[in-house]
Structure 1
Amino acid sequence: MAGEPQDDCLFCKIVAGQIPATIIRETETTVAFRDINPQAPTHVLVIPKVHYANAADLAAAEPEIAADLLRESRAVADGDGLESYRIVFNTGTGAGQTVFHAHAHILGGRGLQWPPG
């Protein structure tokens, strides 16, 4: 069922404390941790504690938690002293999503050209 933890989900296991992560922030609804394969000096993932496959599904089902992700994204950027940063939500394999639990990538600390790639 949507929103419920999934036994085979890496991020659900991080939320449950079954898999270690470098957690830098945690709220009632979110967890933020450093990416294990950083693509920028700051590369943090902000995830909801509830399980939805992607950000669009999360926003449709629980918009208040989707808003929490954005608030926490800003808090992560502020905590790392970033004046400029990028928030990325990959949706689907064609966009590079590899873990099917909604999450935001917070990237900063270097120039981020557009378009990304």
Structure 2
Amino acid sequence: MIVPPPKRPRSTEENVLPLINIVFLLLIFFMLAGVLAQNPPFELNSPATAEAEDSAQLERQVLAVAADGRLAFAGEPIERDGLSEALADWPDDKPLQIRADGGIKAESMTGLFAALRSAGISEVDLLTRHEEP
């Protein structure tokens, strides 16, 4: 009669090592594949809001407006005359997200909204930073 050799007990380290390897590989993958929000080519101080919404819906294509009226779309500076060309392929069902400087005058925003309306944008979201009251 052939007797099988006794099985050696497996240590818990052998079970944890593959899990550590997978988590490490996922960490590296998401660090390389993830894209952070693009910063505009000028400094912005966003206005504050007391109500915060989920910031996970931020997209990479944001229209940035400086206090002096300069514009940037998707991280690239644009002129106000080229706004309709830059937004020509913007989908109708999505609101355009605008990150404006907190010190901008309302007259500048009114002119910008008129230019956006003529470019075919019907809805916008103004992005703010959350500040505790």
Calculate the TM-score normalised by the size of structure 1: 0.30
Identify the structure with the greater helix proportion.
2
Calculate the TM-score normalised by the size of structure 2: 0.27
Structure exhibiting the larger radius of gyration computed from Cα positions:
2
